Amino acid sequence: MKPTYESPIITKLNAGMMNKFGSRTEYTPVKSIDNVAVADLMDEYGSPLFVISEKTIRQTYQKALKAFKMRYPKVQFAWSYKTNYLDAVCQVFHQEGSWAEVVSGFEYQKALRNGVPGNLIIFNGPDKSAEDLKMAVENRSLIHIDHFDELYMLIEIMEEMENTKARVAIRVNMDTGVYPQWDRFGFNYDNGQAWNAIVKIIAQEKLQLEGLHCHIGTYMLTANAYAVAARKMCELALSYANTTGERVKYLDMGGGFCSSNTLKGSYLQGADIIPTFDDYAKAITSTILQFGFRPDELPLLILETGRALIDEAGYLLGTVLATKRLADGRRATVLDTGVNIMFTSFWYNHRISPAQDFSQHAEETALFGPLCMNIDSLRESVILPIMKKGDRIVVHEVGAYNMTQWMQFITLRPNIVMIDTKGDVHLIRKQETVNTIVDCEVVPEHLAKHNL
């Protein structure tokens, strides 16, 4: 038999630039996901292809839930729709017991369609129309008020609604010692704005303050910031109790937990520096438990973490379209997975594995997507085994935001499949066709024809 062929390479050994250990590479091929062969998936569903592991979602969810339940008696997760609102994904979370957390009328409709009872939908965000608010009030959903204009709009709406109360909370922002401070959402704690909003709500017959909500940032590398936030939330809850004699029912600590993706510019690997679910849980629950609530009056703890629950369950499979030399001699590899479907590559250095065997040799390469646009660059420099046209790759941890923030730009969006816990594969979103796009378009009559 002839030896396996690999493209010839020559690498200059630069002092001080030595790669890894000699020329060995750190990568191992990823040939299957949950025991389903990557090659089979791509043969059947095409390339690129998103793959979601139901097993990983459920395991991750259970791990997060356990971290909190071990430490605190009343815990409730609410699935952050914007992180991934594919119906199949949402249903996995709802089966696990998650409520829905939505930030637009569109997401709200989606949650209702998924059969989530209205009173288990949390409605966040700065953009809620009058119609949205009416619908939320009627469905007894939890409305998390973001600003005074929304508060006044809700008060007006309630004047016209008979025999009903709106269940509300306010979103609170605060200094937790981390930068940047997310002060654009909600009412500020430190300057008293949040308390003013609460006072305004107390004065309203038809508004019932049920809870307090905060969401201190995203990809939070320090668990301690949540302890600071939890303490300020408890202070507010206490002030409310002292003023009204009533208790808020819940504290919603939002999300912002890290996945193990590595941020661009980070020296260390994400997996090595991120806090665990246990770290976050410890910071939040010990603060609330030690604050001094009576055991039977402990508020329900709600969490809206999205990224940390779904990122790892998502994979993107792709194909090498071409390899070429750049003017400076560097290798460039063109993949069919571009920034159009991998929005998170703007801020992460995603881990990318070849899906087939390779030799110990590796070469530095730039990774580009397929778009005819200069922005479509996935990695400026990464050391990968030598790959050729037609080789397949697996991009890891793309479950969060990519399937919601993706762009229909230049090309169409691909299939998404889910591998269930038994290893069966289900198509959960069909690849778009030209009709998906042009069906929404209308051409005025005078532009219908030309004489080319």
| Residues within the interface to other proteins (CB under 8 A) | 2-13, 15-18, 20-24, 26, 179-180, 267-269, 271-273, 325, 329, 359, 361, 386, 388
- State which amino acid sits at residue 55: K
Of 104 and 222, the one with the shorter C-beta distance to other proteins is 222
DSSP string across 193-252: HHHHHHHHHHT-TTEEEEEEEE---SS---THHHHHHHHHHHHHHHHHHHHHS---SEEE
Of 238 and 366, the one with the shorter C-beta distance to other proteins is 366
Q: Nearest distance from residue 231's CB to other proteins, in Å?
A: 17
Q: Nearest distance from residue 94's CB to other proteins, in Å?
A: 33
Cα–Cα dist 7/361, whole Å: 10
Residue 115: CB atoms within 10 A of its CB come to: 10
Q: Nearest distance from residue 356's CB to other proteins, in Å?
A: 15
Q: Nearest distance from residue 163's CB to other proteins, in Å?
A: 49
Q: How far is CA 123 from CA 7, 89, 99, 141, 209, in A?
A: 55, 19, 11, 7, 14
Of 12 and 449, the one with the shorter C-beta distance to other proteins is 12
| Residues with Cβ within 8 Å of residue 253, at least 6 apart in sequence | 214, 215, 226, 229, 230, 233, 284, 301, 302, 303, 304
**Phi, psi dihedral angles at 441 (to 5 degrees):** -95, 150
User: Coil, helix or strand for 173?
Assistant: strand
Strand partners, 382: 365
Q: Nearest distance from residue 5's CB to other proteins, in Å?
A: 4
Of 270 and 314, the one with the shorter C-beta distance to other proteins is 270
Of 96 and 279, the one with the shorter C-beta distance to other proteins is 279
* Environment class of 419 (CB within 10 Å of its CB; exposed 0-12, middle 13-18, buried 19+): buried
Q: Nearest distance from residue 288's CB to other proteins, in Å?
A: 22
Of 82 and 330, the one with the shorter C-beta distance to other proteins is 330
Q: Nearest distance from residue 360's CB to other proteins, in Å?
A: 8
Cα–Cα dist 407/303, whole Å: 29
User: Coil, helix or strand for 320?
Assistant: strand
| Residues with Cβ within 8 Å of residue 329, at least 6 apart in sequence | none
Of 268 and 440, the one with the shorter C-beta distance to other proteins is 268
Of 15 and 203, the one with the shorter C-beta distance to other proteins is 15
Q: Nearest distance from residue 39's CB to other proteins, in Å?
A: 19
